[in-house]
């Protein structure tokens, strides 16, 4: 069990260390724009099915996710990201309600199911 954990930890470490930061050329960091709701994200990108569904729902909600770094983030950058995201989350609560993220997550899960069904049906045809 320890060996399995060690192997998993090494894989995660190497994956994170080599993960390039993803950028959106249409945005700048730090985000000061008052027109849109933009959340800054870091880390390993999620599986494509989740990311596609999240981005589809985010567009419907008027939210944009902006990749600013990979897995390894300095404390200074992490603090800046947290400050920006806290402000955005306050604005999201004002616009969508206190528990907005619960409905957002539910919409993402429903979108994943819809996309999966659509892909399954299109493969059958």
- Is the whole-model pTM more than 0.75? no
Classify residue 1: in a domain, yes or no: no
Is residue 26 included in any domain, yes or no? yes
Nearest to 73 by CA among 122, 25, 17: 17
Domain that holds residue 48: 21-124
What's the structural domain count of the chain? 1
In the chain, which stretches have pLDDT less than 70?
1-35
- C-alpha span between 102 and 31 (Å, rounded): 24
Q: Is residue 15 part of a domain?
A: no
Domain contains 116: yes
Tokens for 81, please give them: 């990201």
Distance of alpha carbon 31 from alpha carbon 95, whole angstroms: 18
**Is 109 within the bounds of a domain?**
yes
108 in any annotated domain = yes
Q: What angle do CA 79, 107, 61 make, to 5 degrees?
A: 60
pLDDT for 28: 40
63 in a domain, yes or no?
yes
On whether residue 67 sits in a domain, the answer given is yes
């Amino acid at each position: 069990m320890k060996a399995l954990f060690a192997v998993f930890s090494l894989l995660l470490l190497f994956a994170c260390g080599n993960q390039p930061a993803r950028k959106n050329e249409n945005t700048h960091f730090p985000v000061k724009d008052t027109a849109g709701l933009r959340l800054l994200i870091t880390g390993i990108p999620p599986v494509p099915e989740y990311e596609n569904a999240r981005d589809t729902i985010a567009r419907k909600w008027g939210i944009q996710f902006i990749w600013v770094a990979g897995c390894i983030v300095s404390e200074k950058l992490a603090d800046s990201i947290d400050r920006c995201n806290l402000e955005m989350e306050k604005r999201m609560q004002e616009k969508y309600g206190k528990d907005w993220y619960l409905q957002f997550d539910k919409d993402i899960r429903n979108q994943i199911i819809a996309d999966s069904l659509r892909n399954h049906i299109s493969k059958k045809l």
